[in-house]
Amino acid sequence: MDFELNDDQQAYIASARAFSENELAPHAAQWDADSVFAKEALRAAGGLGFMGMYTPEAAGGLGMGRLDASLIVEELAKGCTTTAAFLTIHNMATAMIGKYCQQAIVDEWCPDLVAGEKLASYCLTEPGAGSDAGSLRTSAQLEGDAYLVNGSKVFISGAGETEVLVVMTRTGDVGPKGITALMIPADAEGVQYGKKEHKMGWNAQPTRMITFDNVRVPVSQRLGEEGQGFAIAMEGLDGGRINIATCSVGTAQRAIQDATSYVLERNQFDTPIADFQNTQFKLADMLTELVAARQMIRLAASKLDNKDPQATTYCAMAKRFATDVGFTVCNDSLQLLGGYGYIKEYPMERYVRDTRVHQILEGTNEIMRVIVGRKLLMDGALEVIQ
């Protein structure tokens, strides 16, 4: 078992780190303060291939595995958590289109999506169906050669600013088997956008409700077969859980770096804070848990890449652990800065605000525990961990 990164992976990290330091970090605070959606930065990321990381090569993407993509996302999150997180959502939706849509749709949309010239939103969550994706109610009624879509989606990242929507709809009976995925242009007649939500964090990307009122969607814009939507959604969620966990780890790494610099410079009682045993113990625990979270993410990503039958369980464990650790590390880093950590002149409070939602996204951490617990009780501990 080799834990070392190969030359290609080191190159991915170097490229992403340079982009993060030059194009994201210098602007992140202003984007947050002014609620700016960094479309120019996303377009620039497209020029490096970061907007189509695991979109199939046949659709113009890089066809990366989840492990390699996570190395890039971690570096991007160090520069701007919110922009990196949206980039992963766009990647998920674009990969779904590239993998499951008819060739004519792929040819029409994927070049611009992969280049970052157009952006995609992913529409799963509903007012009455959050973590329980199988109970969604947005309907798609087949009439001739098109579906009529009615219903609402909430908490949709990028809504109102993106060009295409990947929407999970109900075409059949209650339950997972009745769900179908559709690709809908964001400006289609009958698509309506709610107010821009005022959030605790993630201010550098818009979040809105989307309502579908008799939106006509040609059958040619379906992803896969009718009834395949839940499987497509779950496939996306496994990777999405790795992505959001990685965003937590990247941000937490940056928080530790900032906190370490601060305690080396700040004196109390004529002594650098870094010399206090309590500070050293705190930093040691923070770093240890962060490294553990990173390795758990990479293990889960590797299992997903290798189509391991336990991949979903490992993705759930990694998401739960890494997002909890990431938030705690950011919060503890803020504490080390004392009052300075609480003011917006320093980025620490933004790290805390931006990572808090990661414990909710892509299935709450309570749902992650349900997934792991059920698998454990069904198959037994030895089956899960082997």
Contact 223, 97 (CB under 8 A): yes
Tokens found for residue 218 = 């040609």
**CA dist., res. 352 & res. 330, Å (int):** 5
Catalytic residue, candidates 108, 362, 366, 383: 362
Helices 81-100 and 229-265 cross at an angle (nearest 10°) of: 160
**CA dist., res. 345 & res. 334, Å (int):** 13
> In terms of Cα–Cα distance, which of 252, 361, 352 is closest to 32?
352
Handedness of CA 155, 214, 167, 57 (dihedral sign): negative
Contact 111, 104 (CB under 8 A): no
User: What are the DSSP E strand ranges found in the chain?
Assistant: 120-123, 139-143, 146-157, 164-170, 179-185, 191-193, 207-218, 222-223, 267-268, 271-272
User: What are the DSSP E strand ranges found in 48-115?
Assistant: none
- Catalytic (active site) residue 366: no
Strands 146-157 and 139-143: antiparallel
Tokens found for residue 381 = 């501990």
Contact 133, 92 (CB under 8 A): no
Residue 363: left (phi > 0), alpha (psi -120 to 50), or beta? left
Handedness of CA 122, 127, 131, 136 (dihedral sign): negative
Integer-rounded Cα radius of gyration of the chain: 21
**CA dist., res. 308 & res. 386, Å (int):** 10
- Residues labelled as active-site residues: 362
